[in-house]
Structure 1
Amino acid sequence: MLERAFQKYINNFRGFSREIWILTLITFINRAGTMVLPFLSKYLKEDLHFSYSQVGWIMVSFGLGSMLGSWLGGKLSDKIGFYKIMIFSLLTSGIGFFILQKITSYHGLLIAIFIIMVIADMFRPAMFVSLGAYAKPENRTRALTLVRLAINLGFAAGPALGGLLIMSVGYKGLFWVDGATCILAILIFWLKVKEKKKSAYTDKEHPGEVLTYSVFKDAPFWIFLLICLISGIMFFQLFTTIPLYHKEQFNLTEFQTGLLLTFNGILVFFIEMPLVSYIERNKINKLKAINFGGLLMTISIFLLLINNWVGILIIMMLFMTFAEMFAFPFSNSFAMSRARKGHEGRYMAIFTMTYSLAHILSAKTGMEIIDKYGYQANWVFMGTLGIVSVLLGIWVINLVQKEPPRNL
């Protein structure tokens, strides 16, 4: 019985090309080393003693850099190829993290974090295009899920190790690990994966044509992007306001906060791929899965209103984890399904920029509400946004059902 269940689990991972597995490996290495992001707001507040407002503005700078990087990465992936962009992005941002630890002034960090995020987030749309190039069309959603699995497994290891690192050598150690893993990951990619010269996904003819023809006239897609924006705003609370809330409301250590994020990553590792395979096998509507994820995320945020029992943080994380497993893999898949061949880079740039904007709004809005009205007001505001996103989701489902059939 156990052996059969294990075999069924393993079968979900069959059929991927060698390049997809290497992309998954380097994503895991990179994300396991991503220790600065989960603790950035705590580092700025507790180590550098910035105000809530200053922390919020630095996070805005982070998000603006991420937006510009996503746009540049997508544009340049279509022009010069995803391969070169991926190597430049990880190598340069790795060196940037080494330098970042030396900058401690408010204005210096505003500029430095912006520049690093421009370079670092050029990687994301390039990675999406690389998946399109190296994965078979029928495997594309599962390939996206496999890479998300690596991201979450990396996040499962990273925050807990990061918490221990902070407690033993301080915040500076995070920058060294983050930089080193960026460089290690891209060296493996460069040595093991050859650039794909000719691909249906890297056609450089007629750049920008699909955007003027398709995206800007695609009403369901723009409503879908608004849903992604709201879900991003809610989800990124995990890395902005919630670590501070853990400390101030429940007096958790960095290690305990890291363990909660590890719990998230482990659940995703064991459950997400079988869940995605099940939804695909049973031809469940992908937009309905995304919207169900939005509903779970809204419940997760509202659970934080219970602020007198520490156990609620585990239940909240459970809801948030299932929310992302339903919402995020199919969001990537839906976005890519609307793009035309040869323009995935620019198209996925718009999609990834939505999450960059979410990061800006999540951090600044959350910090300002907490500063003026307290944590409870922030959870009410974020949960209300979630209700709006679920209603928008129902609208998109109805719009798409009226369209001619698409391969979602």
Structure 2
Amino acid sequence: MLRSIVATYREAFSGLSRSVWLLSIASLINRAGTMVMPFLVLFLVKKRGFTEIQAGQTLALYGLAAMAASYYGGRLCDRFGPLRVMQWSLVLTGLSFWALGAAPGRLAISAMVLVLALVGEVFRPANLSALTVASDAGERARSIALMRLAVNAGMTVGPSVGGLLAALSYGWLFLVDGATSILAAGLLFFAFPGARTPGAPAPRPAGSAPARSPFRDLPVMAILGLMFLLNTVTFQTVSTFALTLRDLDGFSEARIGVTLAVNTVIIILFEMVLIHSLARRDPLKVAGLGAFLFCGGLALLPLGRGFGYVILTVAVWTVGEMLTFPLVTSAIADRAPQELRGTYMGLLNFSFASAFVVAPLVGTWVYQHLGARTLWLGCGVVGLVVGAGFYAVAAGAGRPAGVQQPQAEM
């Protein structure tokens, strides 16, 4: 039995390209240094004299800039190639973290937060675009799952170490976060040398018709709308979820941290194998089931009490998360023409960034005025709508535009 388990995991991780592994390692390094953003509000309030409202406004500024960066980051990928965008985004992000740590007043801090979002958030669509370029259509979901594994593994390290460093000095957070960004950039410069940036768009053949804009690709626009709805639920896990555990279940900060860590551990252990086992399934239909489980797991939260029950709900919505996000990303990449893949990935990331701005505002209002039960059961209703929507798109979508495109050099 042990041999069978080992063989299953070996098969799930085998066959991915060198480029996919290198991109994932770079993301692991970058995410292992994620320390500033989880503690930014505390830093602004405790060390820079911001009020809680002013700190919240600063985060909102970051979110709005991230929305813009998501879209223009995708366009930059189509123009210059995703790896070049990733490399310089990481370099500029590292420098911006160092500058933010030294910024003296509210105006300077707000300006650097704006710059940080504009240069840092272009990394996300570039990362997805580079990953899809590096993968054959049949391997994209697995490649994205590997990237998510790397990101989650890094995120288990960064905030934990950041908490220890913050106890010594908040200055260490900015120093280390900036250094890991530049280290990840160095890996990409070293791993992909040469005059031509890997993943750069190939010239369009003479006389060929222009690629279809994603705004005219109705299935993709429907998917993006559904992802926005789903992400308004997703980002409750970093806002009202902790409030619910504190108020309804009496959890301490430490127990809330352990609860959230269960999500990460499940993803690290099982997502690659799960996605590999679903390789022959319709990705959008699987994503429909995933959206239902994700939102349904959160809807269970106010219906029971106790640590064991909460962990069970986390396991349910984590399975839904694993079934949804890699497969939706892969489905959009398959529909994207090669020369517009960055734009498609930018719009997908825009659905995340815009939901990041909206979700905490809506979620905290519902939580405060209507209660936790209404909030989480409402999330379950969203899951039904999004799940049915993915099934409908899967039934009505035409042949993906990008599937027959030749794989770009990577």
TM-score, length-scaled by structure 2? 0.85
Please state if 1:267 is matched with 2:266: yes
Please state if 1:94 is matched with 2:94: yes
How many Å apart are 1:381 and its aligned residue? 3.9
Q: Which residue of 2 aligns with 1:113?
A: 113
TM-score, length-scaled by structure 1? 0.86
Task: Quote the RMSD (CA, aligned, Å).
Answer: 3.2
- Higher alpha-carbon deviation: 112-121 or 222-231: 112-121
Q: Which residue of 1 aligns with 2:387?
A: 390
* Letter in structure 1 aligned against 2:175: W
Distance 1:368 1:66, change over 3 A: same
Matches of 1:405 and 1:336, distance apart in 2: 9
How many Å apart are 1:302 and its aligned residue? 1.4
Please state if 1:230 is matched with 2:229: yes
* Letter in structure 1 aligned against 2:180: T
SS of corresponding position for 2:60: helix
How many Å apart are 1:396 and its aligned residue? 1.6
Distance 1:107 1:366, change over 3 A: farther
Q: Which residue of 1 aligns with 2:284?
A: 287
Unaligned runs of 5+ in 1: none
SS of corresponding position for 1:343: helix
SS of corresponding position for 2:338: coil
* Letter in structure 1 aligned against 2:31: R
- Is the 8 Å Cα contact of residues 134 and 199 (structure 2) preserved in structure 1? no
Q: Which residue of 2 aligns with 1:148?
A: 148
- Is the 8 Å Cα contact of residues 152 and 268 (structure 2) preserved in structure 1? yes
SS of corresponding position for 1:299: helix
SS of corresponding position for 1:194: coil
After TM superposition, the structure 1 = structure 2 runs for residues 311-350 of structure 1, keeping only pairs within 5 Å, are 311-350=308-347
How many Å apart are 1:259 and its aligned residue? 3.0
- Higher alpha-carbon deviation: 170-179 or 291-300: 170-179
How many Å apart are 1:260 and its aligned residue? 2.9
* Letter in structure 2 aligned against 1:8: T
Matches of 1:321 and 1:172, distance apart in 2: 34
After TM superposition, the structure 1 = structure 2 runs for residues 92-241 of structure 1, keeping only pairs within 5 Å, are 92-102=92-102, 110-166=110-166, 168-169=167-168, 173-194=172-193, 197=196, 202-205=201-204, 209-210=210-211, 213-241=212-240
Distance 1:28 1:396, change over 3 A: same
Unaligned runs of 5+ in 2: 405-410
Matches of 2:255 and 2:194, distance apart in 1: 42
SS of corresponding position for 1:12: helix
- Is the 8 Å Cα contact of residues 303 and 312 (structure 1) preserved in structure 2? no
Matches of 2:278 and 2:168, distance apart in 1: 44
Q: Which residue of 1 aligns with 2:363?
A: 366
- Higher alpha-carbon deviation: 134-143 or 146-155: 134-143
Q: Which residue of 2 aligns with 1:303?
A: 300
- Higher alpha-carbon deviation: 7-16 or 303-312: 303-312
Matches of 1:383 and 1:46, distance apart in 2: 37
1:285-339 residue CA offsets vs partner (Å, 9 max, x unmatched): 1111111111111112212324753444322321221111000110110111111
How many Å apart are 1:405 and its aligned residue? 7.4
Distance 1:327 1:77, change over 3 A: same
- Higher alpha-carbon deviation: 285-294 or 179-188: 179-188
* Letter in structure 1 aligned against 2:184: A
Matches of 2:142 and 2:12, distance apart in 1: 8
Distance 1:204 1:6, change over 3 A: same
* Letter in structure 1 aligned against 2:285: K
Matches of 2:319 and 2:301, distance apart in 1: 16
How many Å apart are 1:274 and its aligned residue? 0.8
